[in-house]
Amino acid sequence: MGTAPNRLFDSKNFPAGMGVMVVDDDLLCLKVVEKMLKACKYRVTACSTAESALAILRTRKDEFDIVLSDVHMPDVDGFKLLEIIQFELNLPVLMMSANSDSSVVLRGIIHGAVDYLLKPVRIEELRNIWQHVVRRDYSARNSGSEDGVNPSSPSKRLKTSGSDSKSEEVERAANEAGSSKARKKPAGKKGAKGSKEKEAERKGDAIDSSKKPRVVWSAELHTQFVTAVNQLGIDKAVPKRILDLMGIQGLTRENVASHLQKYRLYLKRLQGNDLMRNGSNASSSGGVSQSRAKEQPMTIKGKNVNPFLDDNIFRADDLGLPGDLGNIGYDASFDPSLLAPLDLDKVGKSDVLGADPSDNILNFFFQGD
C-alpha cells in the first residue's frame, strides 16, 4: 500500500495519463492501437508478446490502470494472459480480436474481460476505456477489500440484505450469530412435535427470531464466485470448492449451490444462441446433461439482433451477462464530469462523455424473460 495504489483520482486531468498496456503480436495493429491510445492522451506501453507485457506489468504494476490484449497470439494467448492478470494483478483487461465468433467473444467476457473490441478497433471505443478503470476503482472503494495485489483478503464478510449502500456505510445490525445451530431439520424428524413456533411470538421480547437474512449476490460477490468457478474450471466447479475458494464468511454451501444452479442455467442459455464452435471447452462427459441447444436467434434485452452488425463493441450487459463481468462505466452515482476530461480540443467532447451512456447504464445480472 505504500505505493500509490490508486493514483487514479490524484490526477487532476484523469483520463489523460492513464496507464494503458497494449498487447498484440500483430505489429501493425499494435502500432495503430498504440497511436490511437496516445491520441486519447493515455500513457501507453506496447508489447508484442504476452510474456513481455507480463514481465513489465509484474514489475511496474502500479503504473498501469488497464490492459488491452489481442486474443490470438503465439505462445501465451489473450485468454491465458487474461487469466494470469486476473488472478495475479488486479487490472481490468479488455480483449481485442478480429474474430467475431460469438463463442470467442463470450468466452473472453465470461472469463472476466471487462469488454471485447472487434478489430478494427476504432478510436471512439478507446476513448471510453477509462470508464472501466473508474468503475473498478469506484466499486472497489465502496466494497472495501482488496487494494490490488492480495487476491486473498481474509476480511471477507458476507453482506446480506439491507443496503445496496451507495455511499452509505451506516447500518449493519449484528446479524448472524457466531454459531447458529438450531435449524435444519434433516434426518430423523419423526416425532411429530406440536410445533408451537407461532406461540412464541408476541409481546415478550425478541424470541430469537433468527431471520436469516438472504444472501444478496452483489456484483462483487458474484465476481468472486465467477473467479472461483473459473479457477476450478467449469467442469470441476462444485459448491463446496467454490465456497472454499471464495472464502466468504457466513456464506454457506447451500447459498453457493443455489447460485451455481442459476449460473449454469444462465450459461446454458447463452449456448443456445450462436453456434458453439470452438472445441476449446468441450464439456465434460460425466456430469451434467448436455442435451441439445435450441436454435434461437441472438437476443439482447428481448429483441432479436445481430450484434455484429450494429456496432463492433460488445458490452457484457448487452449480452445479458452477469453484472460485474462487464458493466461499462457510468455508474449513476458517479459523476464523470468531476474528472477533468481529456484535451477536448483535440479529441472532441462528444466522443468522450457523450458516448450514449444510456445504453450501458443498465445493470442486469441474469436477464431472462
Measured in whole angstroms, the distance separating CA 367 from the mean position of its chain's CA atoms is: 16
**Of the listed pieces 3-11, 194-202, 225-233, 250-258, which binds DNA according to CB under 7 A?**
250-258
Among 209, 289, 333, 358, binds DNA (CB under 7 A): 289
Among 163, 180, 261, 350, binds DNA (CB under 7 A): 261
Nearest 5°: CA angle at 189, between 185 and 194? 95
Instruction: Specify the residue, 257 or 298, whose C-beta has the smaller distance to DNA.
Output: 257
User: Minimum distance between the CB of residue 251 and DNA, rounded to whole angstroms?
Assistant: 9
Among 5, 239, 247, 341, binds DNA (CB under 7 A): 239
* Beta carbons of 296 and 270 less than 8 angstroms apart: no
> Is residue 366 near DNA by the rule CB under 7 A?
yes
> Is residue 249 near DNA by the rule CB under 7 A?
no
Binding mask 196-215 for DNA (x = CB under 7 A): ----------------x-xx
Residue with cell 490508486: 6
> Buried (b) or exposed (e) across 11-39, using 16+ Cβ within 10 A?
eeebbbbbbbbbbbbeeebbebbbebbeb
294 grid coordinates = 435450441
Among 287, 297, 302, 348, binds DNA (CB under 7 A): 287
> Is residue 369 near DNA by the rule CB under 7 A?
yes
Q: By rule CB under 7 A, what count of residues binds DNA?
A: 30
User: Minimum distance between the CB of residue 189 and DNA, rounded to whole angstroms?
Assistant: 9
> Is residue 223 near DNA by the rule CB under 7 A?
no
Three-state DSSP class for residue 117: strand
> Is residue 164 near DNA by the rule CB under 7 A?
no
What distance in Å separates the CA atoms of residue 165 and residue 181, rounded to the nearest whole number? 30
> Is residue 269 near DNA by the rule CB under 7 A?
no
Among residues 335, 238, 246, the alpha carbon closest in space to that of 9 is found at: 335
Instruction: Specify the residue, 189 or 346, whose C-beta has the smaller distance to DNA.
Output: 189
For residue 51, CA distances in Å to 55, 59, 73 come to 6, 12, 11
Which residues have C-beta within 8 Å of that of residue 237, sequence separation ≥ 6?
228, 229, 260
What distance in Å separates the CA atoms of residue 270 and residue 75, rounded to the nearest whole number? 29
Instruction: Specify the residue, 32 or 361, whose C-beta has the smaller distance to DNA.
Output: 361
> Is residue 305 near DNA by the rule CB under 7 A?
no
> Is residue 193 near DNA by the rule CB under 7 A?
no
What distance in Å separates the CA atoms of residue 33 and residue 23, rounded to the nearest whole number? 10
**Of the listed pieces 223-231, 260-268, 332-340, 354-362, which binds DNA according to CB under 7 A?**
260-268
Instruction: Specify the residue, 287 or 348, whose C-beta has the smaller distance to DNA.
Output: 287
Among residues 277, 316, 274, 280, the alpha carbon closest in space to that of 297 is found at: 274
Binding site for DNA (CB under 7 A): 184-185, 187, 212, 214-217, 238-241, 253-255, 257-262, 264, 287-289, 365-369
